[in-house]
Structure 1
């Protein structure tokens, strides 16, 4: 019997407060690299690691999802998935991945995270189980160094680091893959500060997002 061909599904979660060109470029780059047919952009409702008042989202969950939807309208590969916003309580990655694995049984899940998230990954809720459900794809920074990671994370990377063989039948999970760095040095918090100071953000935000932010008087 011929082996079932698995296809890749990208999963990119975050507060997206607001979603910016760094998010978009890194997700698109990973999709191109792994030949993904779709990338789900999943706005978080209450991220456990951002539940304190100083780190909680500034725009409402509905507003953040609306901005993600605007981005998805510009690129057919992206799809806004609002399951975490609809879910009561904290947004745990492992719960989302379990649901997605049931909904996409013939897809290998590629969960896209940043270097900051990798650094704290061993503190995530049921992180060991996460690696039984997907491959981690780490968006690196220019001049990143594995030695800068804490010892627990370095050990995890050492035992799970994988390589892409560029075949459509690669159905393995539990790999940690490092994507090439995207040279866009911007964060949502910096953008919020620029908007508050009435400074231009045209180079980091699409015109649709800028229009939405202005219309809703966000981050003032």
Structure 2
């Protein structure tokens, strides 16, 4: 491992989980809880994207997605909403948000949480090298995932940046990539939206407050 920044006066560890959260569901919540506990961070920020660079549309408006994430955060002291990307009204680039967060919290060590699908495209992200200079990347994978399935660009990325030990990665400011096996629910927001279309009275993959909000606001209906 030769591409990390050495540790300086770090005062706290924070985690960031980005996504459209359209809607936020129990898979997001349980993944966030489990990963935050493993990392032992002081705060986890949900960072809803306005327009993800690789997705042209969202189904619910920024206003409604903000409200749903905020409802979840109100029930979990560890969680906090960061809605800066929703205020931009333009494509959401992770590097810009991370720069701002590091300026606001210069003594924080940032762990940016992503899934394996996103990680396989990480070298296509806007200014991905700068992203790694600002944070560590935590890649959530399912038990049994075979890392030999990854593409050549990702293999080279791991050769330069992967760290296997959590204690070791916390000796660096940024620049590391670490894998975390996550047992949380494997369900997508698109599946939940489809379920809401067919059965609006019940959805076991949503918190009660989010489900009530969706029903009240008549979201995800034809």
- TM-score w.r.t. the length of structure 2 is 0.91
CA distance in 2, matches of 1:104, 1:87: 20
Distance change >3 Å, CA 97–CA 5, structure 1 → 2: closer
Higher relative contact order (CA closer than 8 Å, sequence separation 6+):
2
Cα deviation code 1:100-140 (max 9, x no counterpart): 00011111010000111001111110111100000000111
Structure-to-structure mapping, 1:75-90, within 5 angstroms: 75-90=76-91
Identify the residue that residue 137 of structure 2 maps to in structure 1.
136
Counterpart of 1:26 (choices 31, 37, 40) is 31
1:149 offset after TM fit, Å? 1.5
Pairing of 1:136-215 with structure 2 (within 5 A): 136-166=137-167, 170-198=171-199, 202-215=203-216
In the alignment, which of 49, 53, 58 is matched to residue 54 of structure 2? Answer: 49
**8 Å contact from structure 1 (residues 67, 212) kept in 2:** yes
Kindly state the Cα deviation for residue 24 of structure 1 after the two structures are TM-superposed: 0.7
2:45 is the counterpart of 1:40: yes
Alignment coverage as a number of residue pairs:
214
Moved more, 14-23 or 139-148: 139-148
> How big is the shift at 1:142?
3.0
Partners of 1:22 and 1:30 lie apart in 2 by 12
- Contact 1:191–1:201 (CA under 8 A) maintained in structure 2: no
> Which consecutive unaligned segments of at least 5 residues does structure 1 have?
none
- The answer to whether the 8 A contact 1:20-1:204 is kept is yes
| Structure-1 residue corresponding to 2:98 | 97
**168 and 136 in structure 1: CA distance in 2 versus 1, 3 angstrom threshold:** closer
Corresponding residue for residue 7 of structure 1: 12
Residue aligning to 2:5:
none
Contact 2:163 2:169 in 1 (8 A): no
Whole-angstrom CA distance in 2 between matches of 1:201 and 1:140: 29
* CA deviation string 1:12-38 (max 9, x = no partner): 110000001111111111111111000
- Residue 165 of structure 1 deviates from its aligned partner by 4.4
Name the Cα RMSD after superposition: 1.7
Looking at structure 1, the residues matched to 32 and 12 of structure 2 have their Cα atoms a distance apart, in angstroms, of: 17
1:139-190 CA-partner distances (Å, limit 9, x unpaired): 1123211112111112112221113443896343111111122241211000
